[in-house]
Amino acid sequence: MRALCWMGKTDVRIETVPDPRILNPRDAILRVTSTAICGSDLHLYGGFIPTMKKGDILGHEFMGEVVEVGPGQNELQVGDRVLIPFPISCGNCYFCRRGLTSLCDNSNPKARIAEKLMQYSPAGLYGYTHMLGGYAGGQAEYVRVPYADANAVVVPDGLDDEQVLFLTDIFPTGWFAADNCEIEDGDTIAVFGCGPVGQFAIRSALLMGAERVIAIDSVPERLAMAAESGAETVDESEGEILERLKHLTGGLGPDSCIDAVGMEAHGHGATDWYDNIKQAVRMETDKPIVLRTAIEACRKGGVVSFAGVYGGVVDKVPMGSAFNKGLTLRMGQTHVHRYIPRLMELIQNGEIDPSFVITHRMPLEQAPAGYELFREKRDGCIKVVLKPQEKERRADEDPDEVGDEDEKTA
């Protein structure tokens, strides 16, 4: 089959690889109909997270049709149309039983690597480093799904791929970020970063009853999309974020702040220089610029909710500010399974159509160009959806055309 493979830093390619096969009794194999490139894939693309191996298949946002099931599989049937949450849940352990599926105790076959780095291993993830399992991802024609009975969600009739694809990650992730803010009527929520997760955090906060959402970014089309969703926008490139947020909230500060950026934030000035140096020499793996600002901006007694991914160690966290303001810091990979029923209901009721974030659609063969487009935020790119079953054009035919032709490939 054809698959998008990580071959090194900023080097992803479509390669022909062996088809996946059933390796364990509860496995299923899907024929992937839609898959997306996630902002967190860019951390891998940029080489910022260790334990990738040359040849790994990327992709953790995918859905498709069941084509094969293992002998221990009683729930799913060949032909089922399903979507797959990005954290792999066994469904049986203490954590899965409590709904903390991104902390599954059993799904990481390389848990001991994770334990070296993080003391305790979280769930295995698709296409997201070997410390988190080394599972092949779904940016491919076919994908293997372990513990498929505990993971696959059958898509209700009448919903198309683009309406439900983002239930695999970014919609629940935005929702989780807002849920962590314990929003009360009248609250003002600041969302740092208006990429796809930030966009869903904005919509989620409003659906949960926030009075105001203030969205911060520097990319015009992202701010425009945030404004369409009902957020007030602050252009980060104009500087003085803390002062402006204070002014916008009557001197109080936002009730909660959501970091929808994570470890690769872009900064300015002396601290950015400091972080770049430290990151380059691996004394600091993550650039915690938004982390710092979110803590500093938040009102006394508020919540800072981290949805953006952090992978290692950070420096100069304003702990005194967090402590003395009595902040609550909440974070983690999203327990996607827990949120899907509620969010599916919102989609079926027409309260949200998650496809609003899609700006680009392309065949899988053009995925390398999609990564580049997304990373450089060129051509208004906010979210790229790949269609592995569309094979009419291959990347080697004319990669330069991607930007011009993407809209018609849906």
Partner 1 sequence: MADSRRIHESFTIMQSPEELYRFWRDLSNLPRFMRNVRSVEESSGSRSHWVVGGPDDKTYEWDAEIVRDDPGEAIAWRTVGDAHVQHSGSVLFRPATGGRGTVVEVEIAYDPPGGGAGAALARLFGTRPLEDVREDLRRFKQLVETGEIPTVRGQSAARDTHDDDEDENLPQAAPAGTQAASADEMAEEREESEVTR
Site for partner 1 in 133-152 (CB under 8 A): 133-136, 140, 142, 144, 146-147
Segment contacting partner 1 by CB under 8 A, of 126-134, 264-272, 309-317, 333-341: 126-134
Rounded to whole angstroms, the Cα distance separating 373 from 382 reads: 9
What are the phi and psi torsion angles at 403 (to 5°)?
-60, -30
3-state secondary structure 343-368: HHHHHHCCCCCHHHHCCEEEEHHHHH
Query: Rounded to the nearest whole angstrom, what is the least distance from the CB of residue 369 to partner 1 in the complex?
Result: 18
Query: Rounded to the nearest whole angstrom, what is the least distance from the CB of residue 82 to partner 1 in the complex?
Result: 19
Q: Which is nearer to partner 1, 335 or 361 (CB)?
A: 335
Query: Is residue 389 part of the contact set for partner 1 (CB under 8 A)?
Result: no
Interface pick for partner 1 out of 90, 223, 234, 358 (rule CB under 8 A): 90
Site for partner 1 in 42-61 (CB under 8 A): 50-51, 53-57
Asked if 375 and 46 count as a contact pair (C-beta separation under 8 A), the reply is yes
Rounded to whole angstroms, the Cα distance separating 70 from 88 reads: 17
Interface pick for partner 1 out of 11, 77, 116, 319 (rule CB under 8 A): 116
Q: Per-residue x/- marks for partner 1, 357-376, CB under 8 A?
A: --------------------
DSSP letter assigned to residue 259: E
Query: Rounded to the nearest whole angstrom, what is the least distance from the CB of residue 79 to partner 1 in the complex?
Result: 22
Interface pick for partner 1 out of 101, 102, 106, 199 (rule CB under 8 A): 106
Residue in 154, 157, 138, 163 with CA at minimum distance from that of residue 33: 138
Query: Rounded to the nearest whole angstrom, what is the least distance from the CB of residue 63 to partner 1 in the complex?
Result: 18
Rounded to whole angstroms, the Cα distance separating 306 from 308 reads: 6
Angle at 95 between CA 92 and CA 99, to 5 degrees: 90
Angle at 55 between CA 307 and CA 87, to 5 degrees: 30
78: tokens are: 């060949």
Question: Which residues contact partner 1 by CB under 8 A?
Answer: 1, 3, 5, 7, 13, 15, 17-21, 23-26, 50-51, 53-57, 72, 90-94, 97, 105-113, 116, 124, 130-131, 133-136, 140, 142, 144, 146-147
